[in-house]
Amino acid sequence: MIDYISYTHAYHPDVLVVEVSGKLDSITSQYLLDCIEGFIGDEAEKIVLDCGDVDQINSMGLAVLVRANSRLKKIGGTMAIASAAGTVAEILHIVHFDRLFGLYPNVDEAAAAITKDWSHLVTSFD
């Protein structure tokens, strides 16, 4: 089973964050793609997938990430993946998804990267 919640990022209101949880496999991947396509249809152009609670991913799940990214790029959009851990992070790195779209340690860094605005991450040392 896969589930998600979505919200607008606090510091980057043009970024839609989608928290994904569960297994991203042949049974669930089409559901996630349909959801992402719905967001694109609602004019979302910058999407961060928070995969911190994704515990399994297979080739169908990987294919959905590629398809979603491709659809976003067609409209000039961008997608990033945040918080992937364990086996899921290993798989994403093995298949070089870090070259396809950004893999970030957390949602804030992913949102900053796709908007190219790191101002909320900078700490003053005065």
Stretch 83-92: mean pLDDT, rounded? 96
pLDDT of residue 10: 87
Stretch 68-74: mean pLDDT, rounded? 94
Residue 65: CA count within 13 A, CB half-sphere: 30
pLDDT of residue 4: 82
pLDDT of residue 124: 46
pLDDT of residue 120: 64
Q: pLDDT (tens digit, 9 = 90+) per residue, 14-66?
A: 999 999 999 999 999 999 999 999 999 898 999 999 999 999 999 999 999 99
Per DSSP bridges, beta strands 78-82 and 2-8 are unpaired
* Strand ranges of the sheet holding 78-82, from the earlier edge strand across to the other edge: 2-8, 15-24, 46-57, 78-82, 103-104
pLDDT at 121 over 70: no
Per CATH, which fold does 2-109 belong to? Transcription Regulator spoIIAA (3.30.750)
**pLDDT, averaged across the chain:** 90
pTM for the full model?
0.88
CA–CA dist 100, 69 (Å, integer): 9
Higher pLDDT, 8 or 2: 8
Cβ(59)–Cβ(92) below 8 Å: no
pLDDT of residue 122: 54
For 82, the token pair is 């945040």
